[in-house]
Amino acid sequence: EDYTDCGGVSGLNPSLWSIIGIQCVLLWLLSGSRHHQL
């Protein structure tokens, strides 16, 4: 399967995507904890 039509997204490192995903989740958890103090 060729994903080169996705605007060069496949050119990024899978590890880089995982790091970005983890950072996004952490930011989401931090913002959620501010609204809903556990």
Greater confidence (34 vs 30) lies with 30
Mean pLDDT for 19-33 is: 90
pLDDT at position 17 is 85
Q: Is residue 12's pLDDT more than 60?
A: yes
Confidence of residue 37 (pLDDT cuts 50, 70, 90): low
Average pLDDT estimate for 9-21: 79
What is the rounded distance in angstroms from the CA atom of residue 3 to the CA atom of residue 11? 9
Question: Helix count (H) and strand count (E) of the chain?
Answer: 1, 0
Mean pLDDT of 4-32: 80
Q: Under 8 Å CB-to-CB from 9, ≥6 apart: which residues? A: 3
